[in-house]
Amino acid sequence: MTTTRGETPLDKLVDLLDLETIEVDIFRGKQPNESAQRVFGGQVAGQALVAAGRTVPSDRPVHSLHAYFLRPGDPSVPIVYEVDRIRDGRSFTTRRVVGIQHGKAIFNLQASFQLQEDGNEHAVAMPDVPEPESLQRLEDRMAPYADELGGWYTRPRPIDVRYIGDPPRVAKDTGYREPSSQVWMRADGMLPDDPLLHVCAVTFASDMTLLDSTLIRHGLAWGTGDVLGASLDHAMWFHRPFRADEWWLYDQESPWTGASRGLARGAIYTRDGHLAVSVVQEGLIRTPR
Q: Active-site residues: which are they?
A: 207, 231, 281
Alpha carbon 9 to its chain centroid, in Å, reads 16
Phi first, then psi: give them for residue 208, nearest 5 degrees.
Answer: -75, -40
What is the rounded CA–CA span in Å between residue 86 and residue 56?
11
Sheet holding 159-163, edge to edge: 20-23, 26-29, 79-88, 92-101, 104-114, 62-69, 228-238, 275-286, 261-270, 248-258, 180-187, 159-163
DSSP conformational letter for 64: E
What is the rounded CA–CA span in Å between residue 126 and residue 218?
26
Using alpha carbons only, give the angle 262, 263, 265 rounded to the nearest 5 degrees: 145
Crossing angle between the packed helical segments 41-53 and 195-209, to the nearest 10 degrees? 160
**Residue 167: CA atoms inside 13 Å, Cβ hemisphere, count?**
23
Dihedral sign from CA coordinates of 5, 6, 11, 16: negative
Largest CA distance in the chain: 55
Burial of 103 (0-12, 13-18, 19+ CB in 10 A): exposed
